[in-house]
Amino acid sequence: MLQLCNDRLSVCLLPSAGGAIARFDWLGQGRRELPLMRPCEGSPEVSPGRYEPNRLACYPLLPWSNRIAHGGFFHGGRRIALALNRKDDPYPIHGSGWQRAWSVREHEADMAVLVVDEIAPEAYSYRASLEYRLERDTLRVALRVTNTGSFALPFGLGLHPFFPLHGGVRLRAAATSVWLNDGDDPLPVRQSPVPPEWDFSSDRELPSGGLNHAFVGWRGQATIEWPALALRLHVEADTDGYILYVPEGEDFFCMEPVDHPINAVHLPGGPIANGMTDLAPGETLERAFAFRAEASDSRKEERSHS
């Protein structure tokens, strides 16, 4: 485990478990540690050398996000076959980076750079890097991937953070439309304007009853607020979409900034029209993300220390 720390934030990384974040905590103004992402409790290792990424706080999504139907897709006249990579899911999910061991290329007190190489001659071969950097109240993440294969493929990037509810949360993340599924299968079936109950153009509580949809037309800015803690987390990304997953009865939700919706390779218009990037051999795609914490009520914070 690697630790990054300054006087306001603390981050614990697990390079061997997908280059993921195990903890991301707020230390601002001398407060006790408050989780900004759901912390990994105990070891995520389920057997020697095998990890459960969904126990972690955040992991990278590459070279594509979420699920792909039909065991793969056609691109450039070539069939790209994708094997199932989880026993509990009927579709290939979240690419491969989240299930690989990453190597540490650089590590300082407030930054780290991790790298990984994937070799799959008939599918996605790539070299990727993850840079984590603390700047005062902000965690910056840069995810970069280069196509090291012998043919062009559509690539997509994102992050999969798990955020705690902390007894109640409000979200602002304006979007213009949403890809709806049928409520039984997560694959989208149609695109629709955002309905009023999911309109996060202003702060609102998360909906009850569960939700798992891809929102598009996002401007790359969101705010998560925990009123009981007088704490906000501002999220920025150079992507125009996010997946919002609000599981019923859990103590977390996921707001995943991504550059393409679920199953983009099979949506009308194809992967490029739906946000993915066609990378020829040797070409590179990079996405940047930022998570900035702030006290939402400085007077309340001062009282908590009196």
Beta strands in 148-279 (DSSP E): 153-155, 158-164, 170-172, 177-180, 190-193, 204-205, 211-216, 221-226, 231-237, 241-246, 252-258, 277-279
Q: Which residue is associated with the tokens 């949403």?
A: 178
Give the pLDDT score at 43: 78
Residues near 299 by beta carbon (within 8 Å), at least 6 away in sequence: none
Spatial CA neighbour of 194 closest among 232, 235, 254, 244: 244
DSSP code for 69? S
This prediction has a pTM of 0.94
What pLDDT sits at residue 30? 64
C-alpha span between 288 and 237 (Å, rounded): 6
Each residue's pLDDT tens digit in the chain (306 positions)?
899 999 999 999 999 999 999 999 999 766 678 999 999 987 787 777 788 999 999 999 999 999 999 999 999 999 999 999 999 999 999 999 999 999 999 999 999 999 999 999 999 999 999 999 999 999 999 999 999 999 999 999 999 999 999 999 999 999 999 999 988 899 999 999 999 999 999 999 998 878 999 999 999 999 999 999 999 999 999 999 999 999 999 999 999 999 999 999 999 999 999 999 999 999 999 999 999 999 987 544 444 433
Query: Euclidean distance between the first and final Cα of the chain, in Å?
Result: 35
For residue 62, what are its two tokens?
A: 């590459």
Helix ranges, the chain (H): 270-273, 298-304
